[in-house]
Amino acid sequence: MLSNLDRRIFGIALPSIVSNITVPLLGLVDVAVCGHLGSIDADASMPSSYYVGAIAVGGMLFNIIYWMFGFLRMGTSGETAQAWGRRDLHGVSLLLFRSLLLAVVLALVLMLLSPIVRECALWYISPEPQVANLARTYFNICIWGALPSLGLFALNGWYIGMQNSRIPMFVAIGQNLLNILCSLLFVYVVDLRIEEVAYGTLLAQWMAFAIAGVLCLRYYRRLWHRPDFRLPALGTMLRQALSPRSESNRQNISLFLRTLCLIVVHFMFIAAGAAQGSVELAVNTLLMQLFTMFSYFMDGFAYAGEALVGKAIGAANGGLCRAVVRRLFQWGGGLAILFVGLYAIGGESFMSLLTDDITVLDAVSRYRHWTLLLPICGVASFLWDGIYIGATSPRLMLWSMAISMSLFLAGYYLLIPIYGNHGLWIAFLSYLACRGMVLTVTRGKIFP
């Protein structure tokens, strides 16, 4: 029998898990559609591989860009949850408008600098000229989705802070359905090309942002009479949103730097696999899918931690805060054990679904035991991240990430020359475990 606290945790975690699972579909739909463009393209010199490569390059670039702006969601959720816990309705309203203003400004800056970002990225990746031209076309269209994408970060963070993960779930599902319908319509019915695949994605992004905004106006309309929308007040709000001295933006900077550390670790992991050959790269890519699956579930409980811990701290209820943390770790620990069992029993079968290359599958069997440690080493880091975001303590998150990244780099340069790909996995697992341990040691600083 679930307690009231359990129901509150699952009421936030489960919709968040569904939302997380739908995220890869946006890129997957574009890849699937473009994978058939060569067969309907009158130009025989443009096979499907060029289109798929262009989507891969463009999609990776946007993933990196938007990943770096994840602080718009994380920075908003904790502060909103605390304001909601204090029953500060005026503060709740201001947090949303300030986050949206910051998202608009950052999106405009990103679009202004987009030609430089695009060309630097294409120079670094160095794809074939045909792929580069297609990727450039895709990027030039999809960059106009920067505003709705960053705006959705702000809105989703605010919704989570308001203990509502259902609306982000419905919006994510709607966005993917729209993307599928628009891409298929533009390509197969209107008989257009990669430009219209990009337009389908762009339209889905704007529609999702519009739906999220309409639902916000509909379900939280009692809050909208509180902010002052006169020009002087908006100017003050904008200065606060952009001031690097404000506490909110100091937290955003810490979250941004933490994300950069995270990106460094993941890209060095990929680079190390590539440097060892195509087989090791394929093995690491496949095995990391198991980690990605686990992360989708753990992020749901991390979001519950953001919302519930933030609300408890805002209400100055230390007992409830500790109860939430204990229960999150009980459920998270059980989930980690479940995933270890699933990977042990069905890991090989899952790998065979992803590839039928015998060489790769034989290599996977040599490294698969490391994946059994992924849930155990990673569970604490995921849960503490959500808890610390709810406690608005991103500086401690940054320090834990910096220390863990340093440990990864040490393993990267010391272990790989000796143990090869096994050394890479030891370094990565050490990085995951270190994040959780550092945040566990500093946990006393976040409770009221």
**Model confidence pLDDT, tens digit, residues 312-332:** 999 888 888 999 999 999 999
Considering the domain architecture, whether residues 315 and 441 belong to the same structural domain is answered as: yes
Q: Which of 195, 215, 242 is the last residue of a domain?
A: 242
- For the ranges 152-161, 199-208, 347-356, 364-373, the lowest mean pLDDT is seen at 347-356
Query: Residue 188 has what pLDDT?
Result: 62
Inform me whether the pLDDT recorded for 361 exceeds 60: yes
Considering the domain architecture, whether residues 341 and 258 belong to the same structural domain is answered as: yes
Inform me whether the pLDDT recorded for 263 exceeds 60: yes
Q: Which of 223, 242, 261 is the last residue of a domain?
A: 242
Considering the domain architecture, whether residues 167 and 25 belong to the same structural domain is answered as: yes
Considering the domain architecture, whether residues 215 and 363 belong to the same structural domain is answered as: no
Considering the domain architecture, whether residues 345 and 283 belong to the same structural domain is answered as: yes
Q: In this predicted model, which residue has the larger pLDDT, 126 or 47?
A: 126
Query: Residue 40 has what pLDDT?
Result: 46
Considering the domain architecture, whether residues 282 and 345 belong to the same structural domain is answered as: yes
Considering the domain architecture, whether residues 256 and 291 belong to the same structural domain is answered as: yes
Q: In this predicted model, which residue has the larger pLDDT, 238 or 94?
A: 94
Query: Residue 241 has what pLDDT?
Result: 61
- For the ranges 141-150, 278-287, 339-348, the lowest mean pLDDT is seen at 278-287
pTM for the full model? 0.87
Query: Residue 59 has what pLDDT?
Result: 73
Considering the domain architecture, whether residues 149 and 298 belong to the same structural domain is answered as: no
Q: Report the amino acid identity of residue 88.
A: D
Q: How many helices (H) and strands (E) does the chain have?
A: 17, 0
Q: Report the amino acid identity of residue 330.
A: Q
Task: Using pLDDT thresholds of 50, 70 and 90, give the confidence band for residue 33.
Answer: low
Inform me whether the pLDDT recorded for 250 exceeds 70: yes
Considering the domain architecture, whether residues 291 and 420 belong to the same structural domain is answered as: yes
Considering the domain architecture, whether residues 25 and 87 belong to the same structural domain is answered as: yes
Q: How many CB atoms lie within 10 A of CB 177?
A: 15
Structure tokens, 76: 């908003």
pLDDT digits (tens, 9 = 90+) for 380-389: 999 999 999 9
Provide the CB-side half-sphere exposure for 97 (13 A, CA): 22
Q: Which domain holds residue 371?
A: 251-445
Considering the domain architecture, whether residues 43 and 161 belong to the same structural domain is answered as: yes
CB within 8 Å of 234: residues ≥ 6 apart: none
pLDDT digits (tens, 9 = 90+) for 165-219: 999 999 988 888 887 787 777 666 655 567 777 888 888 889 999 999 999 988 8
Query: Residue 28 has what pLDDT?
Result: 57
Contact assessment for residue 84 and residue 163, using Cβ atoms and an 8 Å cutoff: yes
Query: Residue 236 has what pLDDT?
Result: 65
Rounded to 5 degrees, what are φ and ψ at 135? -65, -35
Q: Which of 178, 208, 242 is the last residue of a domain?
A: 242
Query: Residue 355 has what pLDDT?
Result: 66
pLDDT digits (tens, 9 = 90+) for 391-447: 988 899 999 999 999 999 999 999 999 988 899 999 999 999 999 999 999 887 776
pLDDT digits (tens, 9 = 90+) for 108-127: 999 999 899 888 888 876 77
Considering the domain architecture, whether residues 263 and 209 belong to the same structural domain is answered as: no
Query: Residue 44 has what pLDDT?
Result: 42
The per-residue pLDDT of the chain, averaged, comes to 83
- Number of independent structural domains in the chain: 2
- For the ranges 91-105, 224-238, 274-288, the lowest mean pLDDT is seen at 224-238
Query: Residue 117 has what pLDDT?
Result: 87
User: Cα(265)–Cα(399) distance, rounded to whole angstroms?
Assistant: 15
Count of positions (residues) in the chain: 448
What's the DSSP call for residue 244? T
Closest by Cα among 296, 242, 215, 308 to 12: 308
